[in-house]
A and B are shown apart, each in its own frame.
Chain A
Amino acid sequence: MIRKYVDVICLNDKGGNVKPLFLIWEDDKKIPIKKVKEICPRASLKVGGSGLRYTCVFEPNRIRHLYYDRGKWYVEMNDHVV
């Protein structure tokens, strides 16, 4: 697995919270994030890295982890997908 950095459109609310709204994929397609289920500090041992882990629901039942690490967003990807 590899760490793949991605562009993310976020909402910075009045309380200082950051909520990711859209993930922009390689084909410039905006993928909406329907819900953030959990935010917790986590290390990603599979691909390396450590930061805030957002457990996001992209489509019904499509859950992916989105990591926020020192100003950058990334997802864990299988090598063969990239």
Chain B
Amino acid sequence: MKKTILHCDLNCFFASVEMLYHPEYRNVPMAVAGDPEKRHGIILAKNVPAKKKGIRTAETINEALQKCPELIILKPDYHSYEYFSERVRDLYYEYTDRIEPFGVDECWLDISGSLSYFGGAEAIVSSLLNRIREEIGLTLSIGVSFNKVYAKLGSDMAKEDDFCRIDSLDDIRHLSASKLLFIGSHTCEILKSHGIYTIGDLADHPMGYLENILGKAGKTLYCYANGIGSDEITRYDHEAEMPKSISCCHTAERDLCSLDDFKIVLTMLCDEVATRLRKQGLYYRKVHLLLRTKQLKVRTMQMSLKENSDLAKDIYDNALALFERNADFSIPYRSIGVSVSDLSYQKQYRQTSLFEESAYSIRQKKQELAMQQIRDRFGKDAIVSLRVMEDQTLSRIGLKNNEPFEEVIHQ
């Protein structure tokens, strides 16, 4: 039996929260943007009047101001966004316990089990739209379909405070392939060079052909286009939720031009990731490194460990090894990110050998725990590695100001 899956996307979420508390910004062009001094100066969200002036998300503040000099720019208030995200999610729980968050403002909901109780998908959708507008003061677009990919497409097609239902491939056959989840500009160009322009074209090509031109991703995109699979939404448990990965990414105040710069930021990121891991009692097996160059090109690399760990030192050593093996400083880096995955609650034990320094890791863990306890009690800047103190500019963000790092936790 086909499932009923909703994709709920809060409309211009950051801007909507700001307008909720500042109704005077509702009818003037307004955007939420990062701090240019910290080199986060891009547009994160904009309201409808700003959209009409041609402001786009992710463009720089300068570009936006050139298009619209009267644009009001607000600093993001992440605590408020988290609060509203949580409130909206709590409201979703009144309809189903199968919820899969996708970022702070999007969620997939599997409502197959609650259809008869609430009187059908349309009743649930209209109740959600009404309640979120009246009780929370935000609006959302909802996509209704039988799998996650089509539901996401539906919410993209739906107007503000409305929904769009996709029942079959025929409803979306004519849409550009770039509208499909995970088809970026690069993949889109490859597809176009093979004469694939629409989702219908993509669905009609054999899977083997797509695999030939796109590799592994070909199979995934074939399934996405044909609406095959991707209908599993795991039950989201408040108590025992286990993230798939824990990441921490940081844009430095100046470009990272040497290995010493890189090590400073890496140390801070690894400390942060390991702290979050240990707070949830998790161990990781894989380490990922993300590098974003000055030209905003992104490179990612990953490696697996022999045994799982929860040490910052292991993340650091492996991320550094990844960097030294795969990258250099021919181009300066704007930001770096560290992520750990393949998480488990259990430490794997294995036979120790005579020559292994098992005592070393025990000592390291004691040291990291001691540092964590000091930070919990006296603040993040109470104790830092000597390396981090070498460059005040690079170490300023995140530690001295006690500001949160940019964080992504994939559920």
Which residues of A are found within 8 Å of B20, using beta-carbon distances? 43, 48-50
Of the four ranges (under 10, 10 to 19, 20 to 34, 35 or more), the interface on chain B belongs to 10 to 19
A37 to chain B, nearest CB (A): 17
In the assembly, what is the distance between CA of A47 and CA of B137, in Å?
11
Closest A residue to B25 by CB, please name it.
A48
The 0/1 profile, CB within 8 Å of B marked 1, for residues 48-75 of chain A is: 1110000000000000000000100000
Interface residues of A in 14-30 (CB under 8 A from B): none
Proximity string of chain A (22-42) to chain B, C-beta cutoff 8 Å, 1 when within and 0 when not: 000000000000000000111
A40 to B21, CA, bound (A): 19
Q: Is the interface of A mostly helix, strand, loop or mixed?
A: loop
The distance in angstroms between the C-alpha atoms of A40 and B135, with both chains bound, is: 8
Q: Please judge, given known A-B contacts A48-B23, A49-B21, whether A41 and B136 are in contact too, CB under 8 Å.
A: yes
B134 touches A48 (CB 8 A): no
B349 within 8 A of A: no
**A71 CA / B22 CA spacing, docked (Å):** 18
Judge whether B83 and A42 touch: CB under 8 Å: no
Taking a contact as CB atoms under 8 Å apart, the answer to whether B23 and A43 are in contact is no
Could you tell me the distance between the alpha carbons of A48 and B26 in the complex, rounded to whole angstroms? 10
* B371: min CB distance to chain A, Å: 32
Residues of B contacting A41 in the complex (Cβ-Cβ under 8 angstroms) = 87, 135-136
Contacting pair B134 A42 (CB below 8 A): yes
Q: B83 touching A43 by the CB < 8 A rule?
A: no
Question: Which residues of chain A are within 8 angstroms of B136 by Cβ–Cβ distance?
Answer: 41, 43, 50
- A residues apposed to B, CB below 8 Å: 40-50, 70
Q: List B residues at the A interface (Cβ < 8 Å).
A: 19-23, 83-84, 87, 133-138
8 pairs from A and B in contact (CB 8 Å cutoff): A40-B135, A41-B87, A41-B135, A41-B136, A48-B19, A48-B23, A50-B135, A50-B136
